Amino acid sequence: MSTGRKPDVLVVDDEPQIRRLLGDTLGESGFTVSEAGLGRMALGQIALRSPDAIILDLGLPDVPGLDVLRALRPICSAPVLVLSVQNGEETKIAALDAGADDYVVKPYSNGEILARLRALLRRPDPAAPDTRFRFGAIEVDFVLRRVLREGRPVKLSMKEYELLRLLVDNRDKVMTHSDLLRELWGPNADGHTNYLRVYMMRLRQKLGDEVNAAGHFQTEAGIGYRFVSEPVP
């Protein structure tokens, strides 16, 4: 993580006063803070913002915190610090098995939260050397789930990002319509190639004319799409 910007922390808790207190504490300690009071709202923000860390309460009113953990892990690798009034060993184990990186029981001290959060953000990523891919003016960071264009963030929806990831992961190979549809929308989406046309159009628009002019994204008529890492002029 770059030291040139403030780490972005998403606080997920249904109690406004806790979100406010954590927001003040984190803000004063050099973090950028966003909030969500519901599990579904949190998952939407995670898909759009790709936070650097998440503080998650397990007792959410709409979606159980454990289900939020299970749902966010396929789309986000950021460390998750769980806050909960539940002190039982079984609950702690379940949270860690579901994808949490640390667990703190309420009530807590601000100092403990900050120390644990800093420790989580210092953890090295063993896959770091292979987590970035560049083509043209575009850089994709597979750990932070961020896409940059000439150093500036490109806002992709979750499906747009997943489509880009699939094509890049399988670069220089043809990905059929059926393969892409099954990966992105499940087995019942087979045949709905209109989904792919819409998302490919959006992806090309957001990544810019220079990427399209270079021919990185190629349409194989009637078959699917191919990402070419080094297109031939």
Domain boundaries along the sequence of the chain:
8-122, 129-227
Residue 70 CA to residue 99 CA, distance in Å, equals 7
| Amino acid 107: pLDDT | 86
In this predicted structure, the answer to whether residue 3 has a pLDDT above a threshold of 70 is no
Q: Tell me the average pLDDT across 41-53.
A: 87
* High-pLDDT (> 70) share of the chain, %: 93
Residue 35 CA to residue 50 CA, distance in Å, equals 13
Q: Which CATH number fits domain 8-122: 3.40.50.720, 1.20.120.80, 3.10.20.30, 3.40.50.2300?
A: 3.40.50.2300
Tell me the pLDDT band of 162, cut-offs 50, 70 and 90: confident
Residues 6+ apart with CB under 8 A from 109: none
pLDDT digits (tens, 9 = 90+) for 168-214: 888 888 889 988 988 888 777 777 888 889 999 999 999 988 777 77
The pTM (predicted TM-score) of the whole model is 0.55
Specify the pairing of strand 138-141 against strand 146-149.
antiparallel
Across the beta sheet with 217-220, the strand order is 174-176, 224-227, 217-220
Crossing angle between the packed helical segments 65-72 and 39-49, to the nearest 10 degrees: 20
| Amino acid 1: pLDDT | 44
Q: Tell me the sheet residues that pair with 9.
A: 33, 53
CATH architecture assignment, domain 129-227: Orthogonal Bundle (1.10)
pLDDT digits (tens, 9 = 90+) for 53-108: 999 999 999 999 999 998 888 778 889 999 998 888 888 888 988 889 899 998 88
Helix then strand then coil, % of the chain, to nearest 5:
45, 20, 35
